[in-house]
Amino acid sequence: MKNILTFILFSFLIIPLIQINAQENEHKNSEAPEHKKDPGLEIVLSGLFIYNSESENFDPATELHITYWTTHKWAFGVGYSMVFEEDKRIGHELAALVSHKPWSFLTVNIGPSFSLPNSHNDTEVSAYIEGEFNFKLGEFHIGPLIGTLIGENVRPFAGMHIGYEF
């Protein structure tokens, strides 16, 4: 079941992005150049809820991404999540991120996520897939996000984010 879900997520998120990016590159020369901010550092802060299939609860979490955009389409970075679990326990997760922006309103983050060990959990490695919808608000961008962690359990999540590009 996990392999099928992983294949479906990969197919619906990645393959269309590659095709659309190729189409955008074909039309790049015909469009008038527009002034864009140079690629650089971005910080994104998110509030989200992660579904925990073991306890069948939605755990609130905060997430911080720091990414460096090497081009207007690609970035690399790290993510840190603090998950507020039941019984006042806190889980910590680190992620290595590859970010792709197929359109100005969508950022896709993919990479491995490491759930750090504590008194009630062992280290768990998961595949991290997230889509952020970006709406400009002055110098900031804000919007909903949706994603999943695929490891021993599939843990979907959703929330809101605010980000700033330096």
pLDDT single digits (tens) 123-149: 899 999 999 999 999 989 999 999 999
Model pLDDT, residue 122? 83
**CA atoms of 23 and 31, how far apart (whole Å):** 13
Q: pLDDT band at residue 86, thresholds of 50, 70 and 90? A: confident
Establish if 147 belongs to a structural domain. yes
Q: How many domains in the chain? A: 1
Establish if 34 belongs to a structural domain. no
Establish if 17 belongs to a structural domain. no
Residue 115 neighbours by CB distance under 10 Å:
22
* pLDDT tens for each residue of 96-130: 999 999 999 999 999 999 998 877 778 899 999 99
> Domain of 142: which CATH number?
2.40.160.20
Establish if 140 belongs to a structural domain. yes
Contact 158/146 with Cβ under 8 angstroms? yes
- Residue 144: how many CA atoms within 13 Å on its side-chain side? 5
Residue type, 30: S
Task: Show the domain range for 78.
Answer: 40-165
Contact 128/110 with Cβ under 8 angstroms? yes
Establish if 57 belongs to a structural domain. yes
Question: Parallel, antiparallel, or unpaired: how do β-strands 106-115 and 124-133 relate?
Answer: antiparallel
Contact 144/160 with Cβ under 8 angstroms? yes
Establish if 13 belongs to a structural domain. no
Establish if 130 belongs to a structural domain. yes
**CA atoms of 3 and 132, how far apart (whole Å):** 24
C-alpha dihedral sign at 89, 84, 131, 6 = positive
* pLDDT tens for each residue of 2-59: 555 555 555 555 555 555 555 555 555 555 555 567 889 999 999 999 998 888 899 9
- Three-state DSSP at 152 gives coil
- Three-state DSSP at 22 gives helix
Establish if 158 belongs to a structural domain. yes
Q: What is the pTM of this model?
A: 0.75
**CA atoms of 42 and 127, how far apart (whole Å):** 22
Q: What angle do CA 44, 48, 92 make, to 5 degrees?
A: 80
